[in-house]
C-alpha cells in the first residue's frame, strides 16, 4: 500500500524522481492504547482477570487501589508501599488458588488462555522496580517504556517507529515499527533497506540527527546534524532541512492518529504504522491536487475577466466611432 501511494505521488507530481535520492530518517514513539502503568492498577487488573473461584476481594481490592493513588498524591509513601504490599498479596492469593484448581479445567482454548494469564501475572508479581523488560500492561505485554526526556512527558509507553521522508516535499517513503526499543543508529540500515524496496531505487544521501551516531551504514552517504567534516555548502543547505521531518511526524500524530495505536500485538503495530504513512501520503497528494485545481480555477476566472474587459473596450470604441 505504501508503494502504491509513492507511485501515485510520482504520477501526480507531488514528488520528483530525484527527490527519492535524498531522504530524512528519524524515529518517534507510537503509544499503545493502555492506561499509565502503575503497580496498583496492574495488581487490581490482574486480580479482576483471575477472580471467580474462592475469596475474590471484590470489595476490598478496588478501595485499596484507590487509597494507593491517594497516598501517592499526598506523598505518604510509607502508607502507599504498605497498601501496595497488601494489594499484591490479594492478587497472589487469588493466583495461587487458581493454580491449585487448574486441573479441573479440561484441555482446550479456555485452559490455554488461563495458563497464559497465569504466566503474565506470575511475571508481574516477580518483577522489581529496576528490572529490564518489565510488564506494563496485561492485554499488551509487548509495550516498551521509552524515555523521551521531555519535561511534560518523561516516558512514553508504546513502540518505536522509524520514519523516512523525502528531503524535499516530505512524502513518506519508509515507515516501520521497531519493537524492543532499539538504539536509533541500529535501525538505520533497516530503514534505508525499506526505502530501497518501496521506492525501487537506493537513496544516495540520508540526513539524520545525532541519535544515529555509530550507525555502521556504508552503502549510503549518511550526514548527521552538527557535522563539519566533508560538508559542502550544498550539503549544509540540505542538512538544514533535516528538521523538516518533525512537523511531518506531528501531522501524522495529530491528523493521522499515530498518537495512539488501537491494534493489538507487534503485528498490529507494524500494520498501523504503515497505514499512518499511507494516510499521510494520500493527504499530501490531495492537498497538491487541490492547490493545482485552485490555481486552474483562478486562471480561468482571470482569463474570463480579461475577455469581458476586452469586449467592453471594443464595444465602447465602436460606439464612440459611430457617434463621431
If one counts every other C-beta atom within 10 angstroms of the C-beta of residue 298, the result is 10
Distance, first Cα to last Cα, the chain: 72
Domain boundaries, the chain: 2-34+144-283, 39-126
Q: For the chain, how big is the Rg over CA atoms in Å?
A: 29
Beta bridge partners of 145: 157
Judge residue 184's burial from the number of C-beta atoms within 10 Å of its C-beta, 0-12 exposed, 13-18 middle, 19 or more buried.
buried
Dist CA 68 CA 41 (whole Å): 9
| Max CA pair span of the chain | 116
Band the pLDDT of 321: cuts 50, 70, 90. Answer: low
> What are the C-alpha distances in Å from 216 to residues 190, 219, 242?
12, 10, 20
The answer, yes or no, to whether residue 118 has pLDDT greater than 60, is yes
Band the pLDDT of 111: cuts 50, 70, 90. Answer: confident
> And the C-alpha cell for 213?
551516531
Reading phi first (left if > 0) and then psi (alpha if -120 to 50, else beta), residue 164 is in beta
- Confirm if 165 and 173 have CB atoms less than 8 A apart: yes
Of 167, 174, 210, 214, nearest to 193 by C-alpha is: 174
Q: Of the given ranges (104-113, 154-163, 297-306, 313-322), which has the lowest mean pLDDT?
A: 313-322
The answer, yes or no, to whether residue 126 has pLDDT greater than 80, is yes
Q: Indicate the helix (H) or strand (E) that contains 252.
A: helix 245-254
The answer, yes or no, to whether residue 78 has pLDDT greater than 90, is yes
Q: Around 291, how many Cα atoms within 13 Å sit in the side-chain half-sphere?
A: 8
Give the three-state DSSP class for 104. helix
Q: What is the pLDDT of residues 268-295, one digit of tens each?
A: 999 999 999 999 999 999 998 999 899 9
Q: What is the pLDDT of residues 165-223, one digit of tens each?
A: 999 888 999 999 999 889 999 999 999 999 999 988 889 999 999 889 888 888 899 99
> And the C-alpha cell for 22?
535524498
Q: Around 32, how many Cα atoms within 13 Å sit in the side-chain half-sphere?
A: 29
> And the C-alpha cell for 232?
559542502
> And the C-alpha cell for 188?
538505520
Bridge-based pairing state of the strands 155-166 and 22-32? antiparallel
Dist CA 46 CA 128 (whole Å): 16
Grid look-up 526505502 returns: 195
User: In terms of residues, how long is the chain?
Assistant: 324
Give the three-state DSSP class for 100. helix
- The verdict on pTM exceeding 0.75 is yes
Band the pLDDT of 101: cuts 50, 70, 90. Answer: confident
Dist CA 156 CA 36 (whole Å): 9
pLDDT at 192: 92
Dist CA 203 CA 274 (whole Å): 20
Q: What is the pLDDT of residues 25-62, one digit of tens each?
A: 999 999 988 888 888 988 888 888 887 555 678 888 88
Amino acid at each position: 500500500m505504501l508503494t502504491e501511494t509513492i507511485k501515485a505521488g510520482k504520477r501526480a507530481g507531488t514528488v520528483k524522481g530525484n527527490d527519492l535520492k535524498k531522504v530524512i530518517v528519524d524515529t518517534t514513539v507510537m503509544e499503545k492504547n493502555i492506561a499509565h502503568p502503575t503497580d496498583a492498577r496492574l495488581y487490581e487488573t490482574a486480580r479482576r482477570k483471575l477472580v471467580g473461584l474462592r475469596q475474590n476481594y471484590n470489595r476490598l481490592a478496588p478501595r485499596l487501589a484507590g487509597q494507593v493513588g491517594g497516598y501517592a498524591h499526598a506523598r505518604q509513601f510509607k502508607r502507599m508501599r504498605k497498601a501496595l504490599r497488601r494489594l499484591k498479596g490479594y492478587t497472589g492469593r487469588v493466583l495461587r488458588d487458581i493454580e491449585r484448581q487448574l486441573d479441573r479445567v479440561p484441555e482446550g482454548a479456555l485452559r490455554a488462555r488461563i495458563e497464559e494469564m497465569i504466566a503474565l501475572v506470575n511475571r508481574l508479581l516477580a518483577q522489581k522496580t529496576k528490572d529490564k523488560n518489565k510488564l506494563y500492561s496485561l492485554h499488551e505485554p509487548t509495550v516498551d517504556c521509552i524515555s523521551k526526556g521531555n519535561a511534560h512527558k518523561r516516558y512514553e509507553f508504546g513502540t518505536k517507529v522509524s520514519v523516512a521522508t523525502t528531503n524535499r516535499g516530505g512524502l513518506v517513503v519508509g515507515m516501520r515499527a521497531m519493537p524492543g526499543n532499539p538504539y536509533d543508529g541500529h535501525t538505520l540500515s533497516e530503514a534505508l533497506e525499506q526505502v530501497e524496496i518501496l521506492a525501487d531505487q537506493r537513496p544516495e544521501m540520508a540526513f539524520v540527527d545525532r541519535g544515529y551516531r555509530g550507525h555502521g551504514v556504508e552503502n549510503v552517504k549518511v550526514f548527521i546534524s552538527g557535522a563539519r567534516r566533508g560538508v559542502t555548502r550544498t550539503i549544509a543547505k540540505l542538512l538544514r532541512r533535516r528538521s523538516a521531518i518533525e512537523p511531518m511526524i506531528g501531522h501524522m500524530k495529530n491528523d493521522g492518529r499515530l498518537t495512539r495505536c488501537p491494534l493489538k500485538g507487534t503485528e498490529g503495530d507494524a500494520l498501523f504504522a504503515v497505514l499512518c504513512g499511507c494516510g499521510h501520503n494520500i493527504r499530501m497528494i490531495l492537498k497538491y491536487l487541490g492547490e493545482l485545481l485552485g490555481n486552474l480555477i483562478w486562471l480561468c476566472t482571470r482569463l474570463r475577466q480579461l475577455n469581458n474587459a476586452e469586449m467592453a473596450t471594443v464595444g465602447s470604441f465602436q460606439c464612440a466611432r459611430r457617434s463621431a
